[in-house]
Structures are given as C-alpha cells and as structure tokens.
Amino acid sequence: MLRSESKRGEIGLGDLICAVKLLQCPVEGETRRLTEADVNQIARCLGFTLQSSALRPDSGSPGIRGAFDRQRLSRPSAPKHYRPPDSPRPSLPPAPDIAPDLSGEILKTELEILEPSGFDSLAVPGAIESRQPLQRKTGAPVARQSLFSKNKTRGLLVPAVAQSVAGMDPDIDRIIDAFVHCETLTSLPTLNRYTTRNGCQILLDFSDQLTPWREDMQDLRSQLHRVLGSAVCPVYEFEGDPCAALRWNGEEEQAWKAVQNVPVLAATDLGLLSARTLNYRPGVAAWRKFAYQCTRKQVPLIVLIPVSPRRWPGDLSRLIRMIHWNPATGAASVYRLLADSR
C-alpha cells in the first residue's frame, strides 16, 4: 500500500464549529444564513450537540465545554493603583467629642435592705440537733503489699545470707577416694553446711531517689530481725555512698566496718536512678570501690535492687550478688544465683 508523500490537512472540532457558523444555504434563488434549528440538526447528524449561544458572534463563552473560541477576545484586566510604601495612609476624620448629657439626680432603686437573720431559722439535720455521733464505716484497712511477702521471706533471705561452715556429717565420697588412691587421712573429712549464725549487716540507702521504697525498707529490716534476730543484724543508713554508712548504737553514731565472714545485705539502686536535684550523688564507681573493700576483707556482699535487671551494670556481677527486689522474685532464682557464685 502506497503512502502519500504529502500529509493531509486535519480539521479539529473548533474548525468544524467555525465552519458550521459560516455555512450558508441557497433557498429560492437567494443565499441566506442557516437558522439555529438547521445548525443543531447538522450537529446531531455529525454526532455532537451545540448550544445556541456557541454560534452567536456576540457570545463571550463557548457552548461546548472544552472547545476553544478563537473569536473570543481577552478582557483587559483593571489597572492596579500603585501606592508608594512611604505615602501616608488615608485616614477617616476623627469623630466629634460629644459629651453625654447626664442628669445630676440619683436614680431611684427598689432594693430592700434585709436584716441579718440568726442561725436558729436554718434547717439543722436531726442527727446534729440531737447530738448523736455520726456512723463511721467499719472494716479493716487494706494491707499494703511488700516487695517480699511473708510467705517467701525465709526462703529468700536465709539462702542469701547463709555461710558455708564445716559440719558434723562425714564426707563418704572423700573417704572412699582417699582409700582407693591409698592416701592417708590425718583428720576425718566432713560435709559443709550453711548457717546464719553470723547474721548480717543491713545497709539501707535513704537517698531521695529511693523515697517510694522507704516503707519496704522498714519491712525488710523487720523481716530480717524476725528471721535472723536483731542482735546479729545491725542496721546502717547512708545516702548514696555505702562507705559512709552510719548507725546509732544508743549513745553515739558508729561508722560501718567490715567484719570477716559476716555478709552485708544492702538495699539500694546502685545510683542508677536519675537525681532530681543538682547535688552530686555517688554512682556505680562508689559501689565498685565498696565491693573491692568487701572482697579484701572476705565479706560477701548481697544487694537488693528495685531497678529493672536490664539496667544493671555488668562489671559488678562478679563482685556483688545482685537480686531483683520485687514481688515476682522467687526462692528458686535466688538459689540458682547463689549456686553459680559459690
């Protein structure tokens, strides 16, 4: 199929509308313009519709939405009046000062002044008038839940502060091993047992950050005195730095001193909670120094921490036995921790 070398002209929709507007029809020997009915009929034959306003020369808008009217003239925009920035703004004339006409007479009022009435006329409830005592609600107050409940206090605190000492039961495995290897025993080997006869030293951190746990610390003190005895559990108090712990012995303040084979049980946050004031507060470095001091004196150090374990410093785990101080802590976890450390 041969293609024409010259490109044929294309007629758009706007050209077609202009051609329909200029179309003339010979009628009875004379030529006249088409009427609107004729133009609309031709448009319907071509497949589209036209409005009458689209074919009027004086129409300012096209009848078909989207068709461009080539004879439409753009209206010139109104000129904008330029005002220099420094020119004064027009202002309205000030309103005239007209003084209101006030009469010198005092307006009459219909208010009635009432005399103060006594309290006898007030309605008094019968219970108050007869001087009967008010009824109070009876019932015991709701008990506060401590961090370590009474049911598991002994199972948690006793293994935490128990010390290994030589017992009275013979070590059968050690005796058999010596007999098999032909070793001479100079003394009878015995099994070790754990005891709490040495008691412990209680260190309570009374910093401002541990104010929500003040009552829990008092419960911890009473629980240890009930389980181990108050004579072997002296209580020391400090704020931030455990090396500066003090106690009142009835006559004077006594500073804390490490005692060999007597464990130290401390309730603190290790300085992990943020301080609300600008005062300096010893943190993990002070506890690291305190832990080395206890290690040199062969003093076991156990710390009860109410802070989440995810925030505990990992380098202190080999120096301090850290136990999470909350109601979810069980005796099994404490036994497991002590078995790994011993």
- CB-based contact 15:50 (threshold 8 Å): no
Q: Running along the chain, 342 residues long, what does each successive block of 10 average in pLDDT?
A: 53 71 67 74 72 48 48 59 65 69 71 67 58 66 74 82 80 87 86 83 90 88 88 90 88 88 90 67 84 89 88 82 84 74 62
Residue 57: its pLDDT value, please?
A: 46
> Which among 48, 47, 50 is positioned nearest to 34, based on CA atoms?
50
Residue 266: its pLDDT value, please?
A: 92
> Which among 188, 200, 198, 322 is positioned nearest to 268, based on CA atoms?
322
pTM: 0.53
Those residues with Cβ within 8 angstroms of residue 14's Cβ, 6 or more apart along the chain or in another chain: 67, 68, 69, 70
Classify burial at 240, counting beta carbons within 10 Å of its beta carbon; exposed 0-12, middle 13-18, buried 19 or more. buried
Our CA dihedral for 296, 302, 307, 309, rounded to 10 degrees, sits at 90
Residue 63: its pLDDT value, please?
A: 45
Those residues with Cβ within 8 angstroms of residue 107's Cβ, 6 or more apart along the chain or in another chain: none
Six token digits for residue 141 = 């107050």
Residue 211: its pLDDT value, please?
A: 87
Distance separating alpha carbons of residues 182 and 174, to the nearest angstrom: 12
Residue 9: its pLDDT value, please?
A: 60
Classify burial at 206, counting beta carbons within 10 Å of its beta carbon; exposed 0-12, middle 13-18, buried 19 or more. middle
Residue 265: its pLDDT value, please?
A: 92
Residue 114: its pLDDT value, please?
A: 76
- Residue 80, φ and ψ in degrees, nearest 5: -90, 135
